[in-house]
Amino acid sequence: MGNFPYHPVMDKTKMILRLFAALCLAAVLSAQNTGSRSAVHLLMGNPDGAEPSAAAQRKYLMMKEQFALSYDRMTGIPNWVAWHTDSSWLGEVRRSNDFRADSTLPEQWYRVHEASYRRSGYDRGHMCPSGDRTNTQYDNSMTFLMTNMIPQAPNNNQGPWAQLEIYCRELVQQGKELYIYCGGNGEQGFLDSGRVQIPLRTWKAVLVLDAGEDDLRRVTDAARTIAVVMPNSNALIGKNDDWRSFRVTIDSVEALTGFDLFSRLPHSVQTAIERRTDAE
């Protein structure tokens, strides 16, 4: 075949097609990265088999880039929230403080809002903490969605609960990465005209690993775990109480909640790490 003469229209068309292809590829890669970023939070398991269907009103799975949760439409709070934390999530952005309703809930569901806890005596208590998402302002802001909150007694939220959150970040700064589940349990009344349940207690379970790759495969029966159950009442917990005094086994958290935590680990490993009470 002979050489074709230069044709500016054809060259421009090729450039547009190449640009379009590049944009499409970037969109695909972005979607893949977002998906993997969300999936890591449930790498160790989905504790109650929550599903991303509006028909699952008592355990509606919500996957955020920053955390995952099982939401209960009837109580207005999450059953559990799960997230992964390593050094890539920590930075120096300021606390957003933009508490707001979660617009991604099914359209017909009531959306707990920033004023739902007002004058109740309870804090809007983060499950995935603001302090665990300080790498970007967007990530930090996402922790202020009300689907990430439960009513917490100030002595609980601002005392031992906050101490444990800080301790977990200190572990990350020491070269660890964490897989965390937490939530509320029991009932002691409601806020917002009966739309938001006040938990009787709070609980948390933490798996501690050295920072690395292929996390699911490298958890051994010697892995450190931390679990706590704390009363959600100013009368039963003090701001200066040591979080360590509330340590329990993961087995006891599971017995309390009915959840299967770290369920994707081999049975022998799961059994070993869940029966120990942390003593470090």
Where are any strands of DSSP class E within the chain? Answer: 60-63, 68-72, 77-85, 123-126, 149-152, 176-185, 190-191, 196-197, 201-210, 224-231
Residue 63 lies in a domain: yes
Residue 278 DSSP symbol: P
Task: Compare 99 and 36 and report the one with higher pLDDT.
Answer: 99
Residues 198, 80: Cα–Cα separation, whole Å: 14
Catalytic residue, chosen from 41, 84, 113, 126, is: 126
Name residue 225's beta-bridge partners: 207
pLDDT at 273 over 80: yes
Mean pLDDT of the chain: 90
Residue 235 lies in a domain: yes
pLDDT at 24 over 60: no
Residue 172 structural domain: 43-274
pLDDT at 82 over 50: yes
pTM: 0.87
Looking up tokens 């054809």 gives: 10
CA distances from 105 to 70, 96, 118 (A): 12, 21, 22
Residue 3 lies in a domain: no
Supply φ then ψ for residue 150, to 5 degrees. -135, 155
115-134 average pLDDT score: 97
For the chain, the maximum distance between any two Cα atoms, rounded to a whole number of angstroms, is 90
pLDDT of residue 32: 33
161-183 average pLDDT score: 98
Active site residue 84: no
Q: What is the tens place of the pLDDT at every residue in 240-254?
A: 999 999 999 999 999
134-147 average pLDDT score: 98
Counted domains in the chain: 1
Residue 238 lies in a domain: yes
pLDDT at 149 over 70: yes
Residues 38, 34: Cα–Cα separation, whole Å: 6
16-32 average pLDDT score: 39
- Contact present, 200 and 185 (Cβ < 8 Å): yes
Supply the CATH number for residue 173's domain. 3.40.570.10
Residue 138 lies in a domain: yes
Q: What is the tens place of the pLDDT at every residue in 92-123?
A: 999 999 999 999 999 999 999 999 999 999 99
Residues 218, 161: Cα–Cα separation, whole Å: 29
Residue 11 lies in a domain: no
pLDDT at 177 over 90: yes
Range of weakest confidence among 7-11, 36-40, 94-98: 7-11
pLDDT of residue 17: 42
Task: Report the amino acid identity of residue 164.
Answer: L
Question: What confidence category does residue 36 fall into, taking pLDDT thresholds of 50, 70 and 90?
Answer: low
pLDDT at 14 over 70: no
Residues 176, 224: Cα–Cα separation, whole Å: 11
Residues 173, 25: Cα–Cα separation, whole Å: 35
pLDDT of residue 37: 76
Task: Compare 84 and 10 and report the one with higher pLDDT.
Answer: 84
Residue 161 lies in a domain: yes
174-200 average pLDDT score: 98
CA distances from 47 to 34, 70, 197, 264 (A): 22, 9, 20, 10
Residue 10 lies in a domain: no
Helix (H, G, I), strand (E, B) or coil at 141: helix
pLDDT of residue 7: 47
